[in-house]
Amino acid sequence: MIAETAKRLWRTDRVLVIGIAIALGLVLGFAALASNVMETETDAFDHVILRVLRTPDGEPLGGMFLKGVVVNLSALGSSTIATLIVIIASLFLILVKRRNQAIVVIACGVGTAVAIWVLKDLFGRERPNIVPHLTDVSSLSFPSGHSLIASAIYPTLGLLLSMTFKERKLKLFVFITAAMLALVIGFTRVYMGVHFPTDVLGGWMLGLAWAIVCGLICRRLQEKGIVEPEST
């Protein structure tokens, strides 16, 4: 029954099948990573990466200038900035009569927040104490909230933006920009010593899976004419 359904979907909507497969693969990958993290099998890798980004006396590589840049970039993945972006984007979409897209953005933001809250409490991993932190943190470590936010919200917003034009080069630019933001924000958390690399990897995997789901919903709405088509 499942095989027949999959074959039928593959014939009628390959993008949907591929999207679901990738999202499911990312979720399964996250589950496997979480299992290894809880069994401390990733500790050696995590500790090495954290130490590589510091000088022998514990100072971050690149000096004060790079430290300041990294701290500022990291804020782009904070819950405060993400909330502002979701609110502003949603209000804008409502004003231009794209209410269904606004609902998707809100759902993406709320789903991301719930996932961070539930999973951090579920796994209960403490923050790394391998190197001095470059900023104060109080929440738990796994998965990285900043990384999850960046890999879920920015790609989703990028997809909605790309749906307003047909030029492939513009779509590619938007997707690359969203991906770079997610990668850079994740890196900043490790550089600052407040997350293990596997925290960031877990956040990326789960955030991207959620972004794909939101993207598939947007695509489906567009096909049904509920979401506005691409501009000419």
From CA 201, how far away is CA 135, in angstroms rounded? 20
Q: What is the pLDDT of residue 166?
A: 79
From CA 180, how far away is CA 186, in angstroms rounded? 10
At residue 232 the predicted structure's pLDDT band, cuts being 50, 70 and 90, is very low
* Chain length of the chain: 232
Position with higher pLDDT, 162 vs 78: 78
Q: What is the pLDDT of residue 111?
A: 96
From CA 188, how far away is CA 62, in angstroms rounded? 13
Domain residue spans in the chain?
2-223
Q: What is the pLDDT of residue 213?
A: 95
At residue 135 the predicted structure's pLDDT band, cuts being 50, 70 and 90, is very high
Kindly report, residue by residue over 24-64, the tens digit of the pLDDT: 999 999 999 999 999 999 999 999 999 999 988 888 898 88
Mean of all residue pLDDT scores within the chain: 89
At residue 86 the predicted structure's pLDDT band, cuts being 50, 70 and 90, is very high
pLDDT of 109 higher than 80: yes
68: which residues sit within 8 A by CB, 6+ positions away? Answer: none
> What pTM, to 2 d.p., does this model score?
0.89
Q: What mean pLDDT is predicted for residues 204-232?
A: 78
Residue in 143, 141, 118 with CA at minimum distance from that of residue 129: 141
Q: What is the pLDDT of residue 137?
A: 92
